[in-house]
Amino acid sequence: MKALTYHGSKDVRVETMPDPTILAGDDVLLRVTATAICGSDLHLYHGKIPETKHGDIFGHEFMGIVEEAGPDVTNVRVGDRVVIPFVIACGKCFFCENDLFAACETTNPDQGASLRKRAKMTPPAALFGYSHLYGGVPGGQAEFVRVPKANVGPFKVPGSLADERVLFLSDILPTGYQAVLNAKIGRGSSVAIFGAGPVGLMAAACARMLGAERIFMVDSEPYRLDFAVTAFDVIPVDFGHVDPSEFILEQTAGRGVDASIDAVGFEAKGSTTETVLSTLKLETSSGEVVRQCISATRRGGVVSIPGVYAGFIHAFLIGDAFDKGLTLAMGQTHVQKFLPELLEFIEEGKLQPDIIISHRMKLADAARGYEIFDKKEEDCRKVVLTP
């Protein structure tokens, strides 16, 4: 089969790989019909996620048709059309039983144990196509993929909805939704969303749906901000021109917004010191957006962080966060938990996640897709690939 594989920083290639096979009784083999490139894939693409090996197959946003099912699979059948959550969860452990699927303690064999020094505990759930730190499971930017734990993950979708309409249930839609729920957004809320990439846009869509009144959206890419203004009626804030938290404080009577959402993560631009420190490997993440979120949020508010962080940042303003009595919420998305309600919202027309798609390409051209998305060429917002 053809699959997108890693060969070092900014070197990904579509090449012929062995067809996957069923390895456990509750595996299915999926024929992929659509897959997308995520901002999380860019961290891998930049060579920033440890334990990513040459030849690893990327891709954690995908859907398709069940081609073959192991003998213990009861939830889906051959021929079913399903979306696959990027989180692989067993459905039976302590965390799964508490709907904390991304914390599943049984699916990740933990080849990166030494990197989680301070957390002497089981690693979080395995993820598709996301390094050996997250289980070393081959991903779905491929013609076929083995899907483990098929009684817990694969989510059947009605034939009336096109692939593009439901594909983002695999990751960015539940991620935006969890970020907004964590931020306690409701009717009349004000929120600042940092990052107008796919995750920030999904958060904006969900915040609108839940009745947020004012949505500030921060980025430095005018084309992304322009789209967010048109699609979700946000107040654009270009951090290339203004200090975002200062601007947001001015606009909110000096108090700040009810909640801020960091949809950027550890590769945030804006702090020269941190860019240098992380290049020298003295620091692993840029704390620029976390600091902005802490400044922009009112006392008693929430900072919600779907953006990915790794390791440590030095300049974390815990004093400010304490002083303001903030709540911090973060982590990978517990995808499985949100799918039934999100599908309903899509069916009712309350959410139309596919409007953010800017590029439709063949899987064979995936390397170019990574380049366009990474360099933000051709006004790229989201790339969908079809095998």
Ligand X SMILES: NC(=O)c1ccc[n+]([C@@H]2O[C@H](COP(=O)([O-])OP(=O)(O)OC[C@H]3O[C@@H](n4cnc5c(N)ncnc54)[C@H](O)[C@@H]3O)[C@@H](O)[C@H]2O)c1
List contacts with ligand X (CB under 6 A).
Answer: 38-40, 42-43, 171-172, 175, 194-200, 218-221, 224, 239, 263-265, 268-270, 288-289, 306-308, 332-333
Q: CB count, 10 Å around CB of 246?
A: 12
Would residue 331 be called left, alpha or beta, if left means φ above 0 and alpha means ψ between -120 and 50 degrees?
left
Give the nearest distance from C-beta 186 to ligand X in angstroms: 21
Partner from ligand X, Zn ion, none binding residue 213, C-beta < 5-8 Å depending on class: none
Partner from Zn ion, ligand X, none binding residue 264, C-beta < 5-8 Å depending on class: ligand X
Q: CA of 182: how far to CAs of 100, 198, 267, 303, in Å?
A: 13, 18, 22, 8
The only residue of 22, 90, 157, 290 in contact with Zn ion, by rule CB under 5 A: 90
Distance CA 152, CA 334 (A): 12
Q: Which is nearer to Zn ion, 141 or 182 (CB)?
A: 141
Q: Which is nearer to ligand X, 35 or 332 (CB)?
A: 332
322: its two tokens: 């304490």
The only residue of 69, 88, 104, 218 in contact with Zn ion, by rule CB under 5 A: 104
Give the nearest distance from C-beta 268 to ligand X in angstroms: 4
Partner from ligand X, Zn ion, none binding residue 90, C-beta < 5-8 Å depending on class: Zn ion
Supply the DSSP symbol for 128: B
Question: Quick check: 96 binds Zn ion (CB under 5 A)?
Answer: yes
Amino acid at 114: S
How many residues make up the chain in this entry?
387
Give the nearest distance from C-beta 350 to ligand X in angstroms: 21
- Positive or negative torsion for Cα 62, 64, 67, 73: positive
Element (H, E) at 222: helix 222-232
**Do the beta carbons of residue 196 and residue 217 sit within 8 Å?**
yes
Q: Which is nearer to ligand X, 29 or 36 (CB)?
A: 36
Q: Which is nearer to Zn ion, 170 or 189 (CB)?
A: 170
Give the nearest distance from C-beta 25 to ligand X in angstroms: 28
Q: Which is nearer to ligand X, 69 or 152 (CB)?
A: 152
* Closest among 210, 200, 196 to 376, alpha carbons compared: 196
Give the nearest distance from C-beta 186 to Zn ion in angstroms: 26
Give me the residues paired with residue 94 across strands.
none
| Phi, psi torsion values for 216, nearest 5 degrees | -85, 140
Residues of span 1-40 touching Zn ion by CB under 5 A: 38, 40
Distance CA 318, CA 320 (A): 5
Give the nearest distance from C-beta 170 to ligand X in angstroms: 10
User: Which range binds Zn ion by CB under 5 A, 63-71, 168-176, 224-232, 319-327?
Assistant: 168-176
Q: Which is nearer to Zn ion, 90 or 201 (CB)?
A: 90
* Closest among 342, 177, 176 to 263, alpha carbons compared: 176
**Do the beta carbons of residue 259 and residue 304 sit within 8 Å?**
yes
Partner from ligand X, Zn ion, none binding residue 229, C-beta < 5-8 Å depending on class: none
The only residue of 27, 171, 258, 288 in contact with Zn ion, by rule CB under 5 A: 171
351: its two tokens: 């959410």
Rg (CA), the chain: 20
295: its two tokens: 């400044």
Amino acid at 273: T
Q: Which is nearer to ligand X, 306 or 353 (CB)?
A: 306
Give the nearest distance from C-beta 216 to Zn ion in angstroms: 24
Question: Quick check: 289 binds Zn ion (CB under 5 A)?
Answer: no
Distance CA 284, CA 125 (A): 22
Q: Which is nearer to ligand X, 144 or 370 (CB)?
A: 370
**Do the beta carbons of residue 114 and residue 53 sit within 8 Å?**
no
Give the nearest distance from C-beta 190 to Zn ion in angstroms: 27
Give the nearest distance from C-beta 96 to ligand X in angstroms: 16
Q: Which is nearer to ligand X, 184 or 269 (CB)?
A: 269
- Binding residues for Zn ion (CB under 5 A): 38, 40, 89-90, 93, 96, 104, 106, 171
